[in-house]
Homo-oligomer: A and B are copies of this chain.
């Protein structure tokens, strides 16, 4: 066996062990009885420790170095080159972190998250502040240890979620997006037109929602022979490995869009996981490209497909039949408008397709100075509210509705937020390319045919794993560098029609 083959064998074995933790994590969120929490924490901590030990072992380092010697190639896109590149990136990042910092981050983030839950409940930022200060300090230290070349410290954190992306690139993209989005949203608000979204809060029985959502997830291509849909308080998708991908959603009888678009969203993630090459499981070539690319797949099915007129051309009669009481007097156009209602609101996870991106931009614009040291954690609420008022024209009445709303920072997730809007941009650009390649997608959707799009995504994105970094993948697939215009074009076109702009 060559050192390269031995390297892949070891990576697969580590990934297999890691995937055991995914099963336990999924069970924790779906079925675990409350009394099992402490034992589960012990199990997960043991597995994480074992995975970390193997992923940073000198033996793995030796294998990697030896494989790099023997497998040298001039073509960086070759599977072996991609595997070595990403294995090296991950190994270096992991081994650069001193054990003390890893343990301190884990301990502080666990406690910080508990403090955040209470602080948000009480809407008392002061109670969360000491934790935010510690989290920011530790992750700034991490950025220094990991390094960021000629860039800024933020790059080191962003790179964990979106390998190869820089703060400078994001800043440019987001600035362009903001300059188009703010006036578009203003036009919508100024139009004075608003659908009566109370029809989405009528009675939608949970059992029917479950069946309807499952049928739609199946139709767009999620394979229930190789996956499941369960309930969880905080919906997520978890790919355990080949043949087993788990989706979760949450139902509210009086809020139709939550579970339905949530299911499509998670199914989008799930279709990506199911589309990875099973023969490459555990190696970079069998791993998703980045969190932004992952998000592009969920947003594409949720928004570009699920909230399209063509989709409801196909599904509305079935929806009317399923929810015959709630939708009896609702015309298809009205329904379509309701599920595409745009209005400035305080909570990101409830935001519509257009304003959502402003929520992300705002966070990114606070995260950068937090990491550079230009913004003190204590000044976050004021900065948040000022920026929010500027972008949305409304001011959060409490910190719980403002800077305390998200879980990310409390758990150490700084540098993660940008991937959400990058995902929207990737999705728009991919969708535009798919439309070019596949012809009239609307006609296909209206006929309930989602297979061509799914196959296109499988071939162009999923099966490539980490062959390309996200930025390069976009170029390879669409022929263009990543840009914000496709997303803006999509939003402007859709909402111009709905709001008569």
Query: Interface on A for B, CB 8 Å cutoff?
Result: 13, 16-17, 19-21, 23-24, 27, 31-40, 42-43, 46-47, 50, 223-228, 230, 240-244, 281
Contacts and interface: CB of A to CB of B under 8 A. Distances in A.
A20 B43 contact: yes
A97 to B, nearest CB: 23
A127 B23 CA distance: 37
Contacts of A24: 20, 23
Contacts of A281: 39
B16 A244 contact: no
Contact of A35 (B21, B32, B244): B244
Contacts of A34: 225-226
29 contacts: A16-B42, A16-B46, A17-B50, A19-B39, A19-B43, A20-B20, A20-B21, A20-B43, A20-B46, A23-B23, A23-B43, A27-B27, A33-B243, A34-B225, A34-B226, A35-B226, A35-B227, A35-B244, A36-B226, A36-B240, A36-B241, A36-B243, A37-B243, A38-B242, A38-B243, A39-B240, A39-B244, A39-B281, A40-B244
A252 to B, nearest CB: 22
Contacts of A47: 17, 20
Contacts of A227: 33, 35
B242 A33 contact: no
A412 to B, nearest CB: 24
Contacts of A230: 31
Q: Among the interface residues A27, A32, A46, A242, which one has the most CB atoms of the partner chain B within 10 A?
A: A27
Q: Among the interface residues A32, A39, A230, which one has the most CB atoms of the partner chain B within 10 A?
A: A39
Given A16-B43, A20-B47, A23-B24, 12 more contacts: A16-B46, A20-B24, A23-B23, A23-B43, A32-B244, A33-B243, A34-B226, A35-B225, A35-B243, A36-B244, A38-B243, A39-B240
Contacts of A19: 39, 43
Nearest to A27: B23
Given A31-B228, A244-B33, A46 B17 contact: yes
Nearest to A226: B35
Contacts of A20: 20-21, 24, 43, 46-47
A21 B46 CA distance: 13
A47 B24 CA distance: 13
A248 to B, nearest CB: 12
How many copies altogether? Answer: 2
Contacts of A43: 16, 19-20, 23, 241
Contact of A241 (B21, B39, B242): B39
Contacts of A240: 36, 39
A29 B500 CA distance: 54
A337 to B, nearest CB: 37
A331 to B, nearest CB: 37
A103 to B, nearest CB: 17
Nearest to A24: B23
Contacts of A32: 244
Nearest to A31: B228
A24 B225 CA distance: 18
Contacts of A241: 36, 39, 42-43
Given A39-B243, A46-B17, A240-B39, A228 B33 contact: yes
A326 B394 CA distance: 62
A31 to B, nearest CB: 6
Q: Which 8 A-B pairs have the closest CB atoms?
A: A36-B244, A35-B226, A35-B243, A39-B241, A36-B243, A35-B225, A39-B242, A20-B43
A228 B28 CA distance: 13
Q: Among the interface residues A36, A37, A40, which one has the most CB atoms of the partner chain B within 10 A?
A: A36
A225 to B, nearest CB: 5
A13 B46 contact: yes
A28 to B, nearest CB: 9
A13 B281 CA distance: 28
A43 B226 CA distance: 16
Contact of A226 (B16, B33, B225): B33
Nearest to A244: B36
Nearest to A43: B20
Nearest to A278: B39
Nearest to A37: B243
Contacts of A38: 242-243
Nearest to A21: B20
A244 B240 CA distance: 22
Contacts of A50: 17
